[in-house]
Amino acid sequence: MTISYTILNHDLAEPVADLINFCFPDMTDEDRYVPEDLILMADIFAEGAIVALKEPRKVVVGFGAGIFTDLDWRNLPERESEILGDFCIHNHDPNGRFYYGSEFCVHPNYRRQRIGRKIYDLRKEVIVRNKKWGFFAASVLQGYSDYKHVLDIYEYLAKVESRDLYDPTLTMQLRNDFQLIGPIHKFFDHPPADHWSAFIYWGNPELGKSNYKEF
Ligand SMILES: CC(C)(COP(=O)(O)OP(=O)(O)OC[C@H]1O[C@@H](n2cnc3c(N)ncnc32)[C@H](O)[C@@H]1OP(=O)(O)O)[C@@H](O)C(=O)NCCC(=O)NCCS
């Protein structure tokens, strides 16, 4: 199977919207994407939005996007939407020191084939190329729903971090050299995990920004 990677453009807006909506079935109706959202994203910051295409017919199978922004991880806003702005893109600031990841998904039929890893690698290249400090994101804890009745969020994250438990999202992110900062509650709606997510960071090694506690 050959997968190619490109940046978002108008022609890809509809299939990318369909992919995101399919990959996040718990999303509320008001959060569901329409092609116009992706067109706006392509116009404002296409470089930061990576699309994975299955060759030869170029079927959209993966997507990862984000914005450049300045944020203080010790003092986050209540909701992720305050970081991203309208349509998950309007707060993009070319001068922001960080990349903040908004969407990240791979079609279920194509998972565990390192497409997600490649989408991360290409976004890390965007960060290095633009001399940004690093990559923040809030991890959708897809595995916590199975444990939320027996482990509190701190216990769950400690077990995922020590590799005693596997979380389909966070384990993959830790293996992609992200560091776990800690849990955040109601940053976005995700009922299966009781609205818990995990804040994570990857630092640009070329700028020596790996230790987020320094800033
Ligand atoms: C999170 C997500 C994007 C990952 O995409 P992906 O393409 O499956 O990611 P990768 O293939 O790079 O890595 C996933 C796992 O497959 C494993 N894998 C990849 N190729 C493999 C192979 N040939 N043999 C065995 N395992 C393999 C990876 O090692 C990794 O597992 P591990 O963490 O146990 O090592 C995808 O699971 C998804 O869309 N989830 C739903 C939406 C979501 O929650 N997104 C995250 C929002 S923060």
Q: Hey, what domains does the chain have and what are their CATH numbers?
A: 64-214 (3.40.630.30)
Distance between CA 115 and CA 5 in Å, rounded?
9
Residue 176 confidence (pLDDT): 98
How remote is the CA of residue 114 from the centroid of ligand 1, in Å? 6
Residue whose tokens read 């699309």: 51
Confidence of residue 122 (pLDDT cuts 50, 70, 90): very high
Grouping H, G, I as helix, E, B as strand and the rest as coil, residue 180 is strand
Q: What percentage of the chain carries pLDDT values higher than 90?
A: 93
pLDDT of residue 26: 81
**Ligand 1, atom 16: closest residue by C-alpha:** 112
Dump the DSSP string for 41-79: HHHHHGGG-EEEEETTTTEEEEEEEEEEE---TTS--SS
Residue 29 — very low, low, confident or very high, per pLDDT cuts 50/70/90? confident
| Ligand 1 mutation pick, 33, 110, 114, max ligand atoms within 8 A of CB | 114
Mean pLDDT score across all residues of the chain: 96
Distance 140 CA to ligand 1 centre (A): 13
Stretch 125-135: mean pLDDT: 98
16 has a pLDDT exceeding 90: yes
Q: How far is the CA of 167 from the centre of ligand 1 (A)?
A: 10
pLDDT of residue 11 exceeding 90, the answer is yes
Confidence of residue 30 (pLDDT cuts 50, 70, 90): confident
Q: What local confidence, expressed as pLDDT, does residue 8 receive?
A: 98
**How far apart, in whole angstroms, are the C-alpha atoms of residue 93 and residue 113?**
33
Task: Produce one character per residue of 95-134: b if its CB has 16 or more CB atoms within 10 Å, e if not.
Answer: ebbbbbbbbbbbbeebbeeebbebbbebbbebbeeeebbb
**CA–CA gap between residue 143 and residue 148 (Å, rounded):** 9
